[in-house]
């Protein structure tokens, strides 16, 4: 299993927690701030590898049991929730694990996700990828396994103002 940390502004607390609790799994820190579709490209890269992968976003602090809990869970799609903007406790791609088996079963997922757009974001925009991925995975008949406890989100606001914040 590998750990991927996509970032634009990598938080020290995130790095410290991932290093402390990675249990020797390879960690890939990947900068995604060059353009709005770069995170989409990273998700395609993750999916193409079809390898069990944990994603921890740059402002999430995982706990000591996060990675071991993901490892032990037989489900294909797992996430920890975190506080996020007007959504309250939200289980998106901030702290998520996908099994390679799910990637094999849904090889066109990110193509399908990339077709979606909304009133605030064009297709493949980083901000809405998690919601569209959840929508598409649900359409495939998959359900997310939610793990407890919640992880810490260091910036609960919506970073670019596309939705009202609390």
Domain boundaries, the chain: 2-104+143-153
In 3-state terms, what secondary structure has residue 144?
Answer: coil
The reply to whether CATH 3.90.550.40 applies to domain 2-104+143-153 is: yes
Q: Tell me: the pLDDT tens digits for 101-126?
A: 999 999 999 999 999 998 888 999 99
Model pLDDT, residue 127 = 86
Contacts of 157-164 spanning 24+ positions with Cβ under 8 A: 157/85, 158/84, 158/85, 158/86, 160/127, 162/120, 162/121, 162/127, 163/85, 163/86, 163/120, 164/85, 164/86
Q: Tell me: the pLDDT tens digits for 129-146?
A: 999 999 999 999 999 999
Tens place of pLDDT per residue across the chain (166 aa)? 999 999 999 999 999 999 999 999 999 999 999 999 999 999 999 999 999 999 999 999 999 999 999 999 999 999 999 988 766 798 999 999 999 999 999 999 999 999 999 888 899 999 889 999 999 999 999 999 999 999 999 986 555 555 543 3
The two three-digit tokens of residue 73, written as one number: 């869970």
The two three-digit tokens of residue 115, written as one number: 């077709």
101 vs 18, 52, 60, 66, 145, CA distance in Å? Answer: 24, 8, 25, 20, 15
């Amino acid at each position: 299993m590998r750990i991927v940390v996509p970032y634009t502004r990598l938080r020290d607390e995130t790095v410290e927690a991932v290093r402390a609790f990675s249990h020797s799994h390879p960690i890939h820190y990947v900068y995604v701030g060059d353009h709005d579709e770069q995170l989409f490209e990273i998700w395609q890269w993750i999916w193409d590898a079809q390898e069990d992968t944990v994603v921890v976003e740059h402002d999430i602090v995982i706990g000591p049991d996060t990675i071991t809990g993901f490892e032990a869970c037989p489900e294909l799609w797992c996430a920890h929730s975190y506080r996020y903007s007007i959504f309250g406790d939200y289980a998106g791609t901030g702290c998520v694990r996908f099994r390679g088996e799910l990637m094999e079963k849904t090889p066109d997922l990110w193509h399908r996700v990339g077709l979606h757009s909304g009133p605030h974001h064009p297709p493949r925009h980083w901000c809405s990828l998690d919601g569209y991925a959840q929508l598409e995975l649900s359409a495939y008949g998959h359900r997310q396994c939610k793990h407890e406890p919640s992880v810490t989100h260091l910036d609960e606001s919506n970073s670019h103002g596309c939705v009202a914040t609390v």
